[in-house]
Amino acid sequence: MRFFGEALSCVRGERLVFSGLDFSVEPGDALVLTGRNGSGKTSMLRVMAGLSRCAEGTVGWEDGTIRDDPERHCARTAYAGHLDAVKPVLTVRENALGWAQLNGGDEASAMAALEIFGLSDLADMPARYLSAGQRHRLSLARLPARPATLWLMDEPTVALDADSVVALNRAIAAHRDSGGMAVIATNVSLDIEDARRLDMTAGAGA
Amino acid sequence: MNGFARIVRRELGLALRQAGDSVVIVLFFVLAAVLFPFGIGPEPNILSRMAAGTVWVTALLAAMLSFERLFVPDYEDGSLEQLALAPIPLEFTVLAKATAHWLTTGLPLMAAAPVIAVMFGMPEHGYGALMASMALGTPVLSLIGTVGAALTLGARRGGVLLALLVLPLVIPVLIFGAASIEAAIGGLAVAPHLLLMGGMLLAALVLCPWAAAASLRQALE
């Protein structure tokens, strides 16, 4: 099912961040949001996630906008933002499992997701001992740990080492092969095959 | 298990790892109450007359300390975004948070209340009403606290602002909570006070999650 946005405008703090942007993502697609700092990549992702409202335009699926049925949208969408949402007092496993179960995943999917990002060996370690990169990998592991059609990622490569970037690329490719979609906001060139691009600068406000 | 129970369990698991937080609240409750005899003097008649009011006032103040921890840690580490994006209505998430808050704060306060009442020499007829009014009143505190905590999210010096917002709202709980104990001690009917507190609890159950969810959405925008 197609995920799309039409004529989107976003206003933050009385400043027009972008306007008149359209996008469309088909199953198996990846959409990369590019543009300089402050061009609204994060704002766009938050609008797609349903956290922020856009000033104008609609975002939704073929069977209804995200405002029509927010819960259905949430069940289909996994979001990895700047903040890791990792609880230092819980172990790596508990962190991953908690979010997976809340979103319809289970123990098997959570452990598989930790495996993808090379965290299986650390599963029983309290998350407060993780390095910044490991914490970020744990937050990315939330995406494959649960069933979701659409992955939204904000600067997913920050703090990742080269191996982890490869693992991330592989996870995105596997997700797309199984009919998933991915939207990635990034400043670095991620090695993603035939990705669509949305240049946020094109819709930049005054 | 549904989402509501999962969030309650998550919160309880986190609270258990940080059990110090709840212990501090209860210690503050006891310590604040202990200050009164020092300030007012050890006259037993006066202390026993003050027991009901002191327990309730200090319980309110202790609860104030705990509200900031409802949403602020989750807001700062991004968990609140993830909770808002989970396929559960945010109102139920708030209700689950309030439930967990009551279990980790209201319930311990309730357990400590008789200790303070004993220290103040409260007449024995008052204890039933004390426990009943605490059982009805502390959940109201947790629920109103979610609204205050959600409204002050992201504000500088949110803690002070939160107390200024919430304290006026919980005055009815204080009035009827203390009055029910006074009534029991004086041999008057307790039921009307408790019924009113029950009414407050029902109203808070319906209104607070809705109001808190609305302001959380605003804070996350």
**Tokens at residue A204, please?**
């930049």
Q: Would an 8 Å CB–CB cutoff place A30 in contact with chain B? A: no
The one-letter amino acid at B56: W
CB A35 within 8 A of CB A200: yes
| Closest listed residue to residue A154, CA positions, set A51, A67, A29 | A51
Farthest-apart Cα atoms in chain A, separation: 50
- Chain A interface mutation, best of B6, B16, B85, highest count of A Cβ atoms under 10 Å: B85
Do B85 and A77 count as a contact with CB atoms less than 8 A apart? yes
- SS3 category, A1: coil
Q: Would an 8 Å CB–CB cutoff place A91 in contact with chain B? A: no
pLDDT at B186 over 70: yes
**Tokens at residue A43, please?**
């704002």
In this structure, how many other beta carbons lie within 10 angstroms of the beta carbon of residue A75? 19
Residues 6+ apart with CB under 8 A from B197: B133, B136, B137, B140, B173, B176, B177, B180
Distances (CA, A) of A51 to A2, A27, B105, B211: 20, 22, 30, 17
Question: Which chain A residues are closer than 8 Å to B78 by Cβ?
Answer: 81-85, 139
Q: For B33-43, write each residue's pLDDT tens digit.
A: 999 999 999 89
* Bridge partners for A182 per DSSP: A30, A151
Smallest Cβ distance to B87: which of A52, A74, A87?
A: A74
pLDDT at B202 over 70: yes
Do A89 and B17 count as a contact with CB atoms less than 8 A apart? yes
pLDDT at B47 over 80: yes
Residues 6+ apart with CB under 8 A from A101: A110, B1, B6
- What is the rounded average pLDDT of the residues B21-48? 93
Distances (CA, A) of B47 to B42, B68, B128: 7, 32, 19
Beta strands in chain A (DSSP E): 3-12, 15-25, 30-34, 56-61, 64-65, 77-80, 150-154, 181-185, 196-199
In this structure, how many other beta carbons lie within 10 angstroms of the beta carbon of residue B142? 25
C-alpha A111, offset from chain centre: 19
Round to whole Å and give the CA distance between B129 and B127.
5
Q: Minimal Cα distance from B11: which residue of A?
A: A98
Round to whole Å and give the CA distance between B199 and B136.
9
- What is the rounded average pLDDT of the residues B95-117? 96
Do B85 and A50 count as a contact with CB atoms less than 8 A apart? yes
Round to whole Å and give the CA distance between A99 and A94.
9
- What is the rounded average pLDDT of the residues B12-17? 92
Q: What part of A 131-190 touches B (C-beta under 8 Å)?
A: 139, 142
pLDDT at B1: 59
| DSSP category for residue A111 | H
- Chain A interface mutation, best of B81, B90, B91, B221, highest count of A Cβ atoms under 10 Å: B81
Do A90 and B14 count as a contact with CB atoms less than 8 A apart? yes
Round to whole Å and give the CA distance between B105 and B110.
9
* Bridge partners for A65 per DSSP: A60
pLDDT at B155: 81
Which position has the higher pLDDT, B159 or B200? B200
Round to whole Å and give the CA distance between B149 and A146.
30
Q: For B130-148, write each residue's pLDDT tens digit.
A: 999 999 999 999 999 999 9
Interface list for chain B against chain A, based on CB atoms closer than 8 Å: 1, 3, 6-7, 10, 13-14, 17-18, 76-79, 81-89, 220-221
pLDDT at A206: 45
Q: Which residue has the tokens 């090379």?
A: A118
Do B79 and A85 count as a contact with CB atoms less than 8 A apart? yes
Q: pLDDT band at residue B162, thresholds of 50, 70 and 90? A: very high
pLDDT at B3: 87
Size of interface A-B (CB pairs under 8 A): 64
Which position has the higher pLDDT, B198 or B19? B198
Determine how β-strand A77-80 pairs with β-strand A150-154: parallel
- SS3 category, A65: strand
- SS3 category, A199: strand
pLDDT at A205: 59
CA distance B3 to chain A (A): 6
Smallest Cβ distance to A84: which of B13, B77, B85?
A: B77
The one-letter amino acid at A146: R
* Bridge partners for B155 per DSSP: none
Distances (CA, A) of B3 to A141, A199, B82, B145: 20, 38, 13, 22
Question: Which chain B residues are closer than 8 Å to A72 by Cβ?
Answer: 87
Percent of chain B with pLDDT over 90: 90
Highest mean pLDDT among A28-42, A68-82, B94-108, B153-167: B94-108
Spans of chain A below 70 pLDDT = 205-206
pLDDT at B205: 96
pLDDT at B182 over 90: yes
Do A85 and B13 count as a contact with CB atoms less than 8 A apart? no
CA distance B65 to chain A (A): 21
Round to whole Å and give the CA distance between B182 and B130.
9
pLDDT at B95 over 80: yes
Residues 6+ apart with CB under 8 A from A49: A77, A79, A152, B85
CA distance A1 to chain B (A): 19
SS3 track for B16-27: HHCHHHHHHHHH
